Amino acid sequence: MAEKLILDSFDKKILDCLQDDADMALAEIARQVGLSTTPCWRRIHRLQEAGVIRARVALLERKAVNAGVTVFVAVRTAQHNAQWLGRFAKAVASFPEVMDCYRMSGEIDYLIRLALPDIEAYDAFYKRLIARVELSDVTSMFAMEEIKSTTRLPLNYLP
């Protein structure tokens, strides 16, 4: 978890650059931000140490790795205890096709986003999930079209 860190305009610009291209050369980041390379590197290192930058990753094209189908799975459970939640969290974390999982407010308890090749892969996931944890209701929604998908976080809310 990121420690509370006061970020200035240089930090915001650095984060913006890294969200565009995490592999951008330090000299190019420094040029775009308006710093020399050493202070820029120190700021990036501080942002990493503080947990503001969690990781630098490559974003893969889902279709190229045969995971072009997005499925949202709404889960309801009658069990609301720590033991069940522990089993559920462990099960969800073990499935590589799970991209995101959230505990929700409202009518559903958990929302899971999957990346899969097809409906047969979803059926196999579903069977593995219900074998690991007891669920009251599972509703699946297959995305028909991706309108917007991003890993970029908004930086305009920073003080």
What CATH code is carried by the domain that includes residue 36? 1.10.10.10
- Percent of the chain past pLDDT 90, that is, above it, reads 96
Residue 150 lies in a domain: no
pLDDT above 80: residue 66: yes
For residue 43, give its domain range: 9-49
Confidence bin at 159 (pLDDT 50/70/90): confident
Residue 2 lies in a domain: no
CATH number of the domain bearing residue 132: 3.30.70.920
SS3 content of the chain, % helix, strand, coil (to 5): 40, 15, 45
Angle at alpha carbon of residue 27, lines to 20 and 24, rounded to 5°: 25
pLDDT tens-place string over residues 120-133: 999 999 999 999 99
136 with 77, same domain: the answer is yes
13 with 80, same domain: the answer is no
Q: Report how many domains make up the chain.
A: 2
Angle at alpha carbon of residue 112, lines to 106 and 118, rounded to 5°: 135
69 with 111, same domain: the answer is yes
Residue 81 lies in a domain: yes
